[in-house]
Amino acid sequence: MAKRPTSYELWLQEEGIPVIDGYGITDVTALARRPWKRTGGSGAYIDLKGMEGFTGMYVCEIPSGGALQPENHLYEELIYILRGVGATEIWSPGEKTRKMHFEWQQGSLFAIPLNTRHRMINGSREPAIFLAVTSAPLMIDLLHNMPFVMGSDYKFADRFDGEHDYFTPTNARNEVGGFINWETNFIADARGALVDPSEAKGYGVRITSFDMGGSTLVGHIAEWPVGRYHKAHFHQGGAILLILRSEGYTLMWPPEAGIRPYQSGHADQVVRVDWREGSVFSPPSGWFHQHFNTGKEPARQLAFRYSGQSGKYLLGCWRAINKEGVRTGVREGGTMIEYEDEDPQIRVDFEASIRKVGVPMEMPRFEYAEL
Ligand SMILES: [Fe+2]
C-alpha cells in the first residue's frame, strides 16, 4: 500500500529544499544545503524514521554578513548553533517597537517562544549554521492551514512579553518529576554546561533536563565517561539526539527483538548508528536504544523531546508507552534494561570496539541475571 503524505510532509515538498531521511545522519553540518527562498538562507529538512510526525528538524545556514527573513509560527522551535556567531531579534506580533536582541555563538541553545516574530542574523563573514527542532508536524497536521500557522498575530503573553532579562541565562535548577530541570531560556554553550548526576541511567551518567520559552518541546543534556555505556531504554518516538562531543555508537532494536536480542536470535534486527560530533539520530517508538562512548573524552549529547514527566508542560500522548518511566527497570514495569538484565553480547562487543582504538574499559563488573 502506497504511503500517503501528511500535511506536514506536503508542506516540506513545497519548501523547495532537500528532505533527508534515514535512521541518523553522521554530520549534520555536512548535509547539502540548498537555497531556501522563504527564509533567505540555505537549508535542508531532516525527517528521520524515529521522528514519526512528533518532531520536525532542519539545518539552516544564514548568509555571511546577512540575515534570514523574519517569521513567526504556531509551532514551537528550539535552536542550537552549530557554527558561527550572531544574534536574534525577537518581538511579539504587532510590537516591533519592543524588539529584543540577544547574541549567540557556537554551542548556544535557546527557544523561539510560540508565535514570536524573530530574525536570525549572522554576525560575521563566516557561515553561521544552526539546527532547529520543532513541533511543526503536530501543529501542521492538526491545523493544515499554512496561512494561519505562519500568519497569526496572536500574542502568547504567558510565554513571552518582552521581559528584559528573558534570554539571560539562569542557574535555576529544580527537581521536577524526579528529573533535575534547568529553568532558563538561554544556554550560552551546551557543550560546557554543568550536568547533574543521573546514576539510574548508567554508571557515571549525568543528565540535566531543560524547558525553555514555555514550550512543551523540551530536552536534556547528557554526559557520560570514557570507556562506559548507558543502560538501554525506550519511550515514544520523536526524540532527537545531537552529539556534542566524543564518538561512539548507539544500538537500537524494536520491541519484537526482546530484552536480549542476540541471545534470542534477533541480532539481524539490531540497528547500529555510529556517531561523532554533529551526528543526529532518532530512536523510533518502543525501540530500545543504548549509547556507547568509544572516544577518548566524555561523550555529550543534546536531546530534544517531549515529556510525560519532566518539564513544566507535559504532552499526554508521549505517555502512551512509557508505563512506569524511563528510569525504572523492565522487571518493575518500566522501560529501562538494567545492566544485569542486558544481553551479555552487548558488553563483549563494546569491549572489542574500545580495545581496537586503545580506550580503557571503565565499566564496573556486574552479574547477569536469569531472565
Ligand atoms: Fe531515549
Q: What was the pLDDT predicted at 151?
A: 97
CA of 319 to the centre of ligand 1 (A): 13
Q: Report the residue count for the chain.
A: 371
Q: What was the pLDDT predicted at 309?
A: 81
Using 50 as the pLDDT threshold, list the residues of the chain that sit under it.
none
Domains of the chain with CATH codes? 7-151 (2.60.120.10), 173-356 (2.60.120.10)
CA of 340 to the centre of ligand 1 (A): 19
CA of 154 to the centre of ligand 1 (A): 34
pLDDT digits (tens, 9 = 90+) for 195-221: 999 999 999 999 999 999 999 999 999
CA of 197 to the centre of ligand 1 (A): 17
CA of 35 to the centre of ligand 1 (A): 33
Q: For residue 187, what are the CA distances in angstroms to 90, 191, 281? A: 17, 10, 22
CA of 289 to the centre of ligand 1 (A): 7
Q: What was the pLDDT predicted at 310?
A: 78
Q: What was the pLDDT predicted at 324?
A: 67
Q: What was the pLDDT predicted at 11?
A: 98
Q: For residue 119, what are the CA distances in angstroms to 49, 112, 122, 342? A: 30, 10, 10, 48
Whether 74 and 139 have beta carbons less than 8 Å apart is answered as yes
CA of 33 to the centre of ligand 1 (A): 28
| Strand order through the sheet with 280-281 | 24-25, 280-281, 240-245, 299-305, 218-224, 206-211, 179-183, 173-176
CA of 222 to the centre of ligand 1 (A): 11
